[in-house]
Structure 1
Amino acid sequence: MILSISGVVLFGIIVFLFFRKDSLKASHAIVCALFGFYLSSTAIAPSIRAGSASLAGLLGGLKF
Structure 2
Amino acid sequence: MAVSVSVVLLLLLLAAMLMRNRALKPSHAVVCVLLGFCLASTSLAPTIQSTLTSTANLVGTMHP
Question: In the alignment, which residue of structure 2 is the partner of 1:40?
Answer: 40
Runs of 4+ in 1 over 2 A off after TM superposition: none
Say which one has the larger Rg: 1
Residue 30 (str. 1) matches residue 30 (str. 2): yes
Identical columns (%) = 48
Q: In 2, Cα distance between the equivalents of 1:58 and 1:26?
A: 32
Q: In 2, Cα distance between the equivalents of 1:29 and 1:54?
A: 26
**1:27, CA displacement in angstroms?**
1.1
Q: Deviations over 1:36-58 (max 9, x none)?
A: 00010000100100000000000
Unaligned runs of 5+ in 1: 1-22
CA RMSD of aligned residues (A): 0.8
Q: Which has the higher contact order (CA 8 A, sep 6+)?
A: 1
Q: How many residues align?
A: 42
Q: In 2, Cα distance between the equivalents of 1:34 and 1:24?
A: 15
Whichever residue aligns with residue 52 of structure 2, its letter is S
Residue 49 (str. 1) matches residue 28 (str. 2): no
Unaligned runs of 5+ in 2: 1-22
Question: In the alignment, which residue of structure 1 is the partner of 2:58?
Answer: 58
